[in-house]
Amino acid sequence: MPAHANHRALVPAHRRGRGAFLLTALLLALSALGACARPAPTNMPMSVSFLPAAGEFMNATGDRLSPEGLRQRAASAAYVLVGESHGNPCDHAAEARIITLLAHAKTPPVVGLEMAPASLNPVLQEFSEGRIAPEDLEQRLDWKTNWGHPFAKYLPVLRAIRDWRLPAYGLNVPPGVIRRLSAAAMQNATAADPVASLSAEDRAHLPARIIPPAPEQQAFLREVMGGHLDGRNAADPRQVARFQLIQSVWDSGMAEQAVRARRATARPVVLLAGTAHVEGGLGIARRIAVLDPGAEILLISPWRGQDFEPSDAHVRVYCPESFESRMGMTIESRPFGAQFEYVVSAVKRGSRAEAAGLRPGDVVARAGGYRLRSLNALHLAGSDAFREKKHLVLVIRRGEDAFSVDLGPLGQQGGKP
């Protein structure tokens, strides 16, 4: 006789009756739940076919792409453009992984960096040859002046370049030249060519051909310009013209240096730059297509879990949104059912965020007048508060309670986000 055959006989009668009652109650509850549940909608588009973990790849239709699949997808590309948010550690970890994967290709790539000016390529050559440690590049590249975003977040990328002995190239125009061109564009608003007012030395750092933005990119550039907190006025034609000129110099310069690196090495180029220069192919990719016609370009961009636009990139890598504020808080997006919520993952001791009452684990529901559907809402709320000289106020959930958190005025004591 099986060991479990007489199990029912060993259960007291009163417990058997109680179990039957509970089972009946559960079945009735499930029946009632089924009666009030609506059929799931069948006409909603399915952006992705799986719930990715941080760092996973997917193709343009939202299906899983294996690391080997990415390597095969990139095998025929002359240029692999990888977008990033400069402050997102997940993006930099993904870039390091992509560099490592493509370093194992038959023809390993060279790496182009938006973060460094082309004038410092001799330093990057020493680095690629193993004569400079990754940690020493911060000083050698004058990182704080030439880039400014936290150097430590880029160490995974720099270590991957060093580990695989890949040639590295700076792509940017020196920031001093950009500042002088920007000033000339405003001071000589009626001049046909602000570039002509620069010195010969400055002009030598500019791309030989400054390719203007495509008409479909101009509305996007106005939106980007309007989101800055530095007093730029998207309604001022002079400021709009200056902003578009600087963006065109930026994208054209990076494209020109990438094409130059490919021709000098006969190797594909992995180019790391901000997502605004990569997504949709209207920034750097459009300029490369003009300078190197027929070259295959692969676009890789981070996906944050919101609307999925297949036209933005050929390959996506899932990296949750992350924002580290100068006020001492870090906020990250995390899956919550079919939506995302924005959680305070860290608060620095002694910071403005701690003094205002913000704590790790708080869920940010609103920022200013915006419901937090993406971290861009926090940027917009900060822009409004800075422009209107008001306090930035967050509404947070902590357990079952809701609180307001007053972070004070922006632009004072490092409070500008």
Mean predicted confidence (pLDDT) in 1-8: 43
Give per-residue pLDDT as tens, 132-154. 999 999 999 999 999 999 999 99
Do 332 and 310 share a domain, yes or no? no
Do 275 and 339 share a domain, yes or no? no
Do 367 and 306 share a domain, yes or no? no
Q: Are 405 and 325 in contact (CB under 8 A)?
A: no
- What's the pLDDT score for residue 227? 55
Q: Are 182 and 230 in contact (CB under 8 A)?
A: no
- What's the pLDDT score for residue 10? 40
Do 133 and 237 share a domain, yes or no? yes
Q: Token pair of 268, please?
A: 């594909």
Do 146 and 166 share a domain, yes or no? yes
Closest listed residue to residue 180, CA positions, set 241, 126, 246, 264: 246
Mean predicted confidence (pLDDT) in 23-39: 64
Catalogue the long-range contacts made by 224-231 (C-beta closer than 8 Å, 24 or more residues apart): 224/276, 227/376, 227/379, 227/380, 227/383, 228/383, 229/382, 229/383, 229/386, 229/387, 229/410, 229/411, 229/416, 229/417
CATH number for the domain harbouring residue 292: 3.40.50.11550
CATH number for the domain harbouring residue 375: 2.30.42.10
Do 95 and 219 share a domain, yes or no? yes
Q: Is residue 144 part of a domain?
A: yes
Mean predicted confidence (pLDDT) in 384-405: 94
Enclosing domain of residue 256: 57-318
Mean predicted confidence (pLDDT) in 351-379: 93
- pLDDT grade, residue 35 (50/70/90)? low
Q: Is residue 288 part of a domain?
A: yes
Do 235 and 343 share a domain, yes or no? no
Give per-residue pLDDT as tens, 259-269. 999 999 999 99
Do 63 and 102 share a domain, yes or no? yes
Q: Are 158 and 137 in contact (CB under 8 A)?
A: yes
Do 98 and 148 share a domain, yes or no? yes
Do 350 and 247 share a domain, yes or no? no
Q: Which of 36-40, 138-142, 211-215 has the lowest mean pLDDT?
A: 36-40
H or E, element range at 110:
strand 110-117
Give per-residue pLDDT as tens, 8-26. 344 444 444 555 555 565 5
Domains of the chain: total = 2
**C-alpha distance from residue 398 to each of 362, 363, 401 (Å):** 5, 7, 5
Do 346 and 201 share a domain, yes or no? no
Give per-residue pLDDT as tens, 167-177. 999 999 999 99
Mean predicted confidence (pLDDT) in 242-258: 94
Q: Is residue 150 part of a domain?
A: yes
Q: Is residue 48 part of a domain?
A: no
Q: Is residue 22 part of a domain?
A: no
What does pTM read for this prediction? Answer: 0.78
Do 255 and 165 share a domain, yes or no? yes
Out of 318, 351, 379, pick the residue that ends a domain.
318
Backbone angles phi and psi of 55, in degrees to 5: 95, -5
Q: Is residue 20 part of a domain?
A: no
Q: Is residue 309 part of a domain?
A: yes
Q: Is residue 417 part of a domain?
A: no
Give per-residue pLDDT as tens, 269-323. 999 999 999 999 999 999 999 999 999 999 999 998 777 788 899 999 999 888 8
201 vs 221, residue with greater confidence? 201
Out of 318, 351, 371, pick the residue that ends a domain.
318
- What's the pLDDT score for residue 309? 82
Out of 276, 302, 318, pick the residue that ends a domain.
318
DSSP state of 142: T
